[in-house]
Structure 1
Amino acid sequence: MASVGKRAGRINEDFVGVLPEAAVLVDGAGIPGGEVTCRHGVAWYASHLGGTLLGLLPQDRDLADLLAEAITHVTDDHRDTCAVTDPISPSAAVAVLRLSGDRADYLVLGDATIVIDRSEEGAPVVVTDRREVVISGRYEPALKAADPGSDEYRRILGELRSHRNRPGGFWVAKDDPGAAREAVTGTVPGPASAALLSNGASRIVDRFGLADWPELMTELARKGPAEVIRRVREAEERQAVPPDDATIAHCTSLARPA
């Protein structure tokens, strides 16, 4: 595993944790001004949600049910002190991988990514949830044209946020456990290795195009997650792209003997 904050001196709002047969990655999300809604902050939300979910994973239950339980638990933990239902309170994208015999169950909610290599089966299975990216893209030109801090900018941003955790919009972990039912889930037989990536790390493929998914898996096997994140940082600097927290869990030797 490797996890690097977007810049020195700023708290990393990603979480990653593993068990012998499971891995969880949580990419915390905050909105400027959100500090007034939650005294704990985005990093607390991400780590608390990730740790709670990790503790539930040994149970042989549906991953979406476990995520819903974790969301409920974390929401209840700060419901009395924070404005948990406020649109700008902390939220998160979530990726989960759990082995069960000769298969792997996965869940992705929000813009995290899981890549599952099935060895001789050809190209890896890539699991991601692009709904937020697609919807945000519709508003990006208008946000760039508006003056940050202006009434028009706030109006556009508010309209974008109105799509969050709504039918036809995009879904993230926040205060509503029902969002877990909107996650991308499935099962893949015979996994050999896998990687869980926050969107700050997956940009090596989906934004910068420095590798495709098979090449990424090869690089992770040869050089490890820290080297991949180093290349992401170089690309961000080279292309003047604002850095983001970047986290990767690389899971190996997943195949079970026959």
Structure 2
Amino acid sequence: MASVPGHDGRVNEDFAAATATAAVLVDGAGIPGAEAVCRHGVAWYAVRLGGSLLGLLTLDPASSLTAVLAMAIDEVTGEHRDTCDVADPISPSAAVAMLRVSGDRLDHLVLGDATLVLNRAEGEPLVVTDPREVVISRSYASELAGRTPASEEYRRVLRELRARRNRPGGFWVAKDDPGAAHEALTGTCAVAGLTGAALLSNGASRLVDRFASTGWPDAMALLATHGPGEIIDRVRRAEARHAVAADDATIVHCTWLDQA
């Protein structure tokens, strides 16, 4: 695995970890002003949520991934409910991707704009990503364009966008409501026939889904031969070419799934 902050000297708000049978990636999301409602910050939320997820995946292997995510959200929310305004729309949140191997079965889950890729010996990779946040955010782009960020109109549009988080018809992330876990994309497949799996934060998946520098088959081949660091290096070069602000980039690459 590899995880690189978007800027030197800035805290990395992604989290990644794995055991012999499970892997977790959490992409923390921060909104300007979040420090006013949560004294802990986005990186703290991502680390606490990721640690809780990995512990539950290990200690409670019989629970579904949806149940594990709901329990982890509830656990972390309880840790700062008394000190922070956890229900405020700008309090820390995160996208989540995780997988668990149980015998001959692999279970996977994605919530928010993280990406999970299952590489198959035959056929194209299976790519699991939740497009709802991206689609809804794009619908507000024209209203935000040309407005001054400090203006009341700009702030009004942002409030409308944030109000669609964890609401029917909106988009879903890990935050303070365990019920959001039931909106995650989940699936199960046989381990046989899988040659590898990857979890990527949106700062890493942009090599494919934003810059279109390569496709998923070639990206997975690159992971297998050169490792996740090479993918992130290529992301940084693409960001520079396109004058796009760098983001935290994290990749977990899992192999030998049939040995888990």
TM over 0.5: yes
The equivalent residue for 1:235 is 238
* Letter of the 1:99 counterpart: V
User: What CA distance in whole angstroms lies between the structure 1 residues aligned with 2:45 and 2:199?
Assistant: 19
The equivalent residue for 1:106 is 108
Counterpart secondary structure, 1:15: strand
User: What CA distance in whole angstroms lies between the structure 2 residues aligned with 1:256 and 1:32?
Assistant: 44
Q: Percent identity?
A: 65
Query: 1:223-258 CA deviation, whole Å, 9 max, x = no partner?
Result: 11011001101111111001110000000111359x
Query: Does the 8 Å CA contact 1:3/1:245 hold for their aligned counterparts?
Result: yes
The equivalent residue for 2:10 is 10
The equivalent residue for 2:35 is 35
The equivalent residue for 1:188 is 189
TM-score after normalising by structure 1 = 0.97
Counterpart secondary structure, 2:246: coil
The equivalent residue for 1:202 is 205
Q: Does 1:253 align with 2:244?
A: no
Deviation at 1:192, TM superposition (A): 2.1
TM-score after normalising by structure 2 = 0.97
RMSD: 1.0
Query: 1:198-238 CA deviation, whole Å, 9 max, x = no partner?
Result: 00000000001111111110000011101100110111111
Q: How many pairs align?
A: 256
Question: Does 184-193 or 217-226 show the bigger shift?
Answer: 184-193
User: What CA distance in whole angstroms lies between the structure 1 residues aligned with 2:236 and 2:36?
Assistant: 31
The equivalent residue for 2:225 is 222
The equivalent residue for 1:62 is 64
Counterpart secondary structure, 1:39: coil
1:105-124 matched pairs, under 5 angstroms: 105-119=107-121, 121-124=122-125
User: What CA distance in whole angstroms lies between the structure 1 residues aligned with 2:189 and 2:133?
Assistant: 25
Counterpart secondary structure, 1:145: coil
Q: After TM superposition, which residue ranges in structure 1, 4 or more long, deviate above 2 angstroms?
A: none
* Letter of the 2:78 counterpart: D
Query: Does the 8 Å CA contact 1:102/1:256 hold for their aligned counterparts?
Result: no
Query: Does the 8 Å CA contact 1:143/1:153 hold for their aligned counterparts?
Result: yes
User: What CA distance in whole angstroms lies between the structure 2 residues aligned with 1:187 and 1:135?
Assistant: 28
Query: Does the 8 Å CA contact 1:17/1:23 hold for their aligned counterparts?
Result: yes
Query: 1:47-100 CA deviation, whole Å, 9 max, x = no partner?
Result: 000000100002211100010000000000000111111110000000011111
The equivalent residue for 2:146 is 145
Deviation at 1:149, TM superposition (A): 1.1
